[in-house]
Chain A
């Protein structure tokens, strides 16, 4: 049984390489639910912290298929069912002429959904975001290690890993 998380220790780093090494070491030590705060995406952080693949692409796929189908069906319905109108002797469902708009609705649905899915995944917008340290959007990095006991072990670990600053939150 995992012990209840009572808080977290935050280590501030000023170099992405040190952050990656510390993240990897923390995971090897058996610390769970690690998180990091970074001013930009440091490649390798997913592997270092063991983050799962994002689910956002599934939302994009679903929305794209929906958008494309709806776009095509709507054009076919208006042209052949709701008000069949003979335009230049073409069939009512002259599907090649419907492709451009089908493509556009696919991209429109998929793109807008991607952004909304991103916000949902990151739980944005947040009214009062918990900003650990104002420097993590400038030039510093933070590694967050949740603690289950006193946190002394985690603090020592972060200091050894090269953190400039260690604090409990």
Chain B
């Protein structure tokens, strides 16, 4: 489809009166002068973080016993949080890389904050396997290095694949994000009047000048990183699902897990991105850049992925029945009607029933509705991981080894703290870095110089 046809069939992504100078000024305003709401949000996040620091400190001092985990439920909140946060990250990569490759131009307004979300979510997720080790100071044993024990790590273990997948994912996401930031940091450098900011942004923009030769390389590198991130993001959550699927436990040992986990990750990540963007656009007055159209597109993706997740729930039920495997059947029955049925039905309601609201355009375009739905999806997706982990573990093959499980204050503290950790980084990002990609948003403006009233859109990004 030619660019002209695209422009004719869709309304402009950004109101036509906005010029390049407006973009720079509006997006950089929070950097130059934060509002009161920013301080409020930052304080709440720091308080949550402090709660988490206390909970983890107690666990490190006294051992994992404080979590109340005992046979057979040896994984609970920690691994739930790990899978949850890794999943959150996936939507950021989907927005920044996959939508870029698919030439979806509406991504330009949201990709910077979505990528930031990815990085902070993966950082948060990465804490949990480390905390879960119990003796976190031995975490370096996970790295294959020549050591005095003369042993190598077990490369056949999905838990080790995780180490490689998550650290690669974090590194590549950082590279992709930083590359996008360089031209924008140069914009801040050339605009600010403060000497200190000029120095700091001067260092981090590396001396970017905006030469066409540099842009030529830049575009190619950006395309390559997008192309590398796309299979990477699919591999990461597939590998996370192998942690479960490669074991023999009923309810975990299924081939559906990799696609099921990837779809769930994108679903939960889009919901989290929605939660954050609704707040971000309001607090920093970016309503014209992150418009209703952008949010509606995201809601459509939430609806599609909600069906993928719902389909996976149905497939699980069908497979359990059709397999004629008594353990598989029991595990499914126990999930839906056993002691943890409440968690299962929270999951189904939040992830499958509530998002059906997005069939209606009024709901897709209504800010408060989408905000509330996104919160429900966040809760539902957290409970999905909890259900998968705890219900499979607490009743396995032998009734003699069954037990129940209840969380402790330390586990709850750690979970609340993870939200604090994530939000603290997100608030710092929104305060100190351009939260929209200046260079990419300028590329989708209808009337960049603000001079011509009836100029058809130029050839632009995507």
Contact = CB atoms under 8 A, between A and B. Distances in A.
Interface stretch (B19-27, B384-392, B393-401): B19-27
A24 to B, nearest CB: 13
B218 A41 contact: yes
Main secondary structure of the interface of B (DSSP, over half): helix
B212 interface: yes
Interface string B445-462: 000110110010011110
Interface stretch (B150-158, B327-335, B358-366, B411-419): B150-158
Interface stretch (B33-41, B112-120, B182-190, B271-279): B182-190
Contacts of A38: 210, 212, 215
Interface in B258-306: none
B459 A83 contact: no
* B interface bracket (residues with beta carbon within 8 Å of A): 35 or more
Identify which of A37, A41, A127 gathers the most chain B CB atoms within 10 Å of its CB.
A41
Given A83-B150, A83-B152, A101 B160 contact: yes
Contact of B168 (A16, A108, A114): A108
Interface in B142-185: 144, 150-152, 154-156, 158, 160-161, 164-165, 168, 171-172, 175-176, 178-179, 182-183
Contact of B165 (A94, A104, A111): A104
B152 A131 contact: no
A89 B168 CA distance: 30
A104 B168 contact: yes
Contacts of B172: 107-108, 111-112
B225 interface: yes
B207 interface: yes
A15 interface: yes
A150 interface: no
Contacts of A108: 168, 171-172
Given A14-B449, A15-B451, A112-B175, A39 B438 contact: yes
Contact of B217 (A15, A82, A101, A122): A122
B157 to A, nearest CB: 9
26 contacts: A14-B449, A15-B448, A35-B212, A38-B215, A39-B187, A39-B438, A41-B218, A41-B443, A42-B458, A51-B213, A51-B216, A53-B220, A82-B152, A83-B150, A83-B152, A87-B156, A103-B235, A105-B164, A110-B228, A114-B224, A114-B225, A114-B228, A121-B217, A124-B182, A138-B190, A139-B19
The 7 closest A-B pairs by CB, nearest first: A126-B207, A139-B20, A129-B207, A125-B206, A36-B212, A78-B152, A54-B220
Given A125-B203, A139-B442, 13 more contacts: A35-B212, A37-B211, A43-B459, A46-B212, A94-B156, A100-B158, A103-B235, A104-B164, A114-B224, A114-B225, A115-B175, A122-B211, A137-B190
